[in-house]
Amino acid sequence: MTGVARVTLARNLAIAAAAGVGLWVLTSTVSAYANVQIATMAYYFVAVAGLTVLTGQNGQVSLGHGALMAVGAYATAKIGEAVTWPLAAVLAAAALLTAIAGLLVGAAAARLRGPYLAGATLALAVGLPALATRFSDFLGASNGLTVAPPIPPASLGATFPLERWQAWIACAGALIAYVLLANLMRSGYGRAFRAVRDDEIAAQLAGYHVARTQVVAFVVSAACAGLAGGLLAVVTSVAAPGAFTLTLSVALLTGVILGGLGSLAGAVWGAAALVLLPSWSDDLSGALSLSSNVQANLALAFYGLVLIAVILVAPHGLQGALGKAIGRMWDQRRRGRAPRKEEEE
């Protein structure tokens, strides 16, 4: 391990530790429902962050990550049913299984570019959940499988709320994923991902193996999707085809873009948006008294409008917009003291 890598690791661990303490305080003070929302954001973060590596860092578009989440959720349900491993081991196994699935998909995907990759992964998102009805005895058909919720350890006390425990599990998963991905992005692999994204020919000339790099990126992001699916199963008890529709795959991609393509900070924003937007728009439509047709569809309309507006107003996502705003504030403060410098890109 080089000195730089060690510093990076230390810094990422420090960030994760600080975030962990923050989350511990937060989850212990807020209401049970807020804990549900935090847990949901946490598993969305894992999936969105994984997709950020694939799409933002490596330039491969996937409309099929919802299906990979399904693999993780079903694996968690089946493994949890079959053996009495600790939950962490079950989730790790689910992530590993999904990574293997990702290896298969990634190997096929490495041959495809742009819209063809999008088309193939879209077919994956639509096709894979049908396995549940094809093998209905094993996968529970359209009702799917119900995952038993995790039991908080007795040491936390008999009245420890389940929602907080689920939030802790999901947040722990998110922090581990964060540390691993943040290190990966700063490592040689990260450089290879970006080199291949920016120019395949140049990357090849520089000695990178293009196809292998793309497969690695796919496997990494699939493992994240698997972990996210496992966490979803733990938090919501759900492993059912109706939960892993094309809409979920699309939502994950939306999270990546809304947050800001390519940065893990953006993934945090994206995950938060995926949880809070529907909830807020629901509140909004509930607050107005409208005819039932309008009422039922207002949240959906709001969601669509936000998607369009964010891209048109802030093409670099929420994180990009935030960075710009901070930069501008910084600029203004400096302007008071010194002559204004040209804005840096």
Partner 1 sequence: MQRFVDLTLNGIANGAIYAAAALSLVLIWRATRILNFAQAGMLMFTTFIAWTVIDHGVSYWLGFLVALASGLAMGALVERTIVRRVEGAPPLNAIIVTLGILVLLQALAGMLWGSTPRSFPPAFSIRGYEIGGHAVLFSRFDLFTVLVVAAVMAGLVALFSWTSLGLRMRASAFEPEVARLLGVRVGDMFTVGWALASLVGSLAGVLVAPSVFVSPNSFDAILVFGFTAAVIGGLDSPSGAIVGGGLLGLALSYVSGYAGSETVTLGALAILVATLMVRPAGLFAGPRERRV
Partner 2 sequence: MRHRKSSALAAAAAALALAIAACGSSDSTSTSSSSSKNEASAPGITPTQVTVGGHFALTGPAAPGYSSIPAAIEAYFKYVNANGGINGRRLKLIARDDGYNPTNTVAVTKRLVLQDKIFAMVGGLGTPTHTKVVDFLNASKVPDLFVSSGCLCWDQPEKYPQTFGFLPDYLIEGKILGQYIAQHFKGKKVAYFVQNDDVGIDGTKGLDMEIPKSQVVTRQTYEPGNTDIGPQMAKIKASGAEVVAMFTIPAYTALVELAGLKLNYHPQLVSSSIGSDPTTLAGLLKAFSKGKAPTALIDGIQTSAPLPATTDTSNSWTALFKKIHDQYLPKLPYDGNVQYGLAVGYTFAQALQAAGRNPTREGIVEALQTKKLTGPGLTPFRFSEESHAGLTGVQLAEIKGGVLVPRGKPLTTDDGDGAITPYDTAQPQAPANGVPPAT
16 is a site residue for partner 1 (CB under 8 A): no
Determine the Cα–Cα distance for residues 274 and 261; give it in Å rounded to an integer: 15
54, 260 Cβ separation under 8 angstroms = no
Closest CA to 274 of 236, 247, 246, 296: 247
The yes or no reply on residue 113 touching partner 1 (CB under 8 A) is yes
312 binds partner 1 (CB under 8 A): yes
In whole angstroms, how far apart are CA 331 and each of 42, 170, 318, 325? Answer: 34, 38, 19, 10
Q: Is 227 in the site for partner 2 (CB under 8 A)?
A: no
CB 75 within 8 A of CB 228: no
Cα–Cα nearest to 286, from 268, 302, 273: 302
Task: Decide: 35 and 163 in contact? Cβ < 8 Å.
Answer: yes
- Identify the sign of the CA torsion 238, 239, 242, 248: positive
DSSP 155: G
Interaction partner, residue 17 (partner 1, partner 2, none; CB < 5-8 Å by kind): none
| Segment lying near partner 1 (by CB under 8 A), choices 184-192, 229-237, 266-274, 307-315 | 307-315
Q: How far apart are CA 39 and CA 119, in angstroms?
A: 31
The single-letter DSSP state of residue 147 is: P
Partner residues linked to 239 by β-bridges = 145
Q: Does position 297 bind partner 2 by CB under 8 A?
A: yes
Dihedrals φ, ψ of 119, to 5°?
A: -65, -45
239: three-class secondary structure by DSSP:
strand
Task: Work out how close the CB of 166 gets to partner 2 at its nearest, in angstroms, rounded to a whole number.
Answer: 10
Quick note: the x/- pattern for partner 2 over 137-156, rule CB under 8 A, is ----xxxx-x-xx-------
Asked if 268 is part of the footprint of partner 2 (rule: CB under 8 A), the reply reads yes
For residue 22, the partner it binds in partner 2, partner 1, none, with Cβ less than 5 to 8 A by kind, is: partner 2
Residue 184 interacting with partner 1 (CB under 8 A): no
306 binds partner 1 (CB under 8 A): yes
> What residues from 14 to 53 belong to the interface with partner 2 (CB under 8 A)?
15, 18-19, 22-23, 26, 30-34, 36-38, 40-41
11 contacts partner 2 (rule: CB under 8 A) = yes
Piece in contact with partner 1 (CB under 8 A), picked from 3-11, 146-154, 156-164, 247-255: 247-255
Distance CA 95, CA 240 (A): 18
Quick check: 209 binds partner 1 (CB under 8 A)?
A: no
Q: Does residue 230 interact with partner 2 by CB under 8 A?
A: no
Taking the C-alpha atoms of residue 187 and residue 298, their distance in angstroms, rounded to an integer, is 45
Answer with the entry of partner 2, partner 1, none that 312 interacts with (C-beta below 5 to 8 A by kind): partner 1
Residue 300 near partner 1 by CB under 8 A: yes
Where do contacts with partner 2 occur on this chain (CB under 8 A)?
Answer: 11-12, 15, 18-19, 22-23, 26, 30-34, 36-38, 40-41, 130, 133, 141-144, 146, 148-149, 162-163, 232, 236-238, 240-243, 245, 247-248, 263-266, 268-269, 271-272, 275-276, 279-280, 282, 286, 291-292, 296-297, 299-300, 319, 322-323, 326
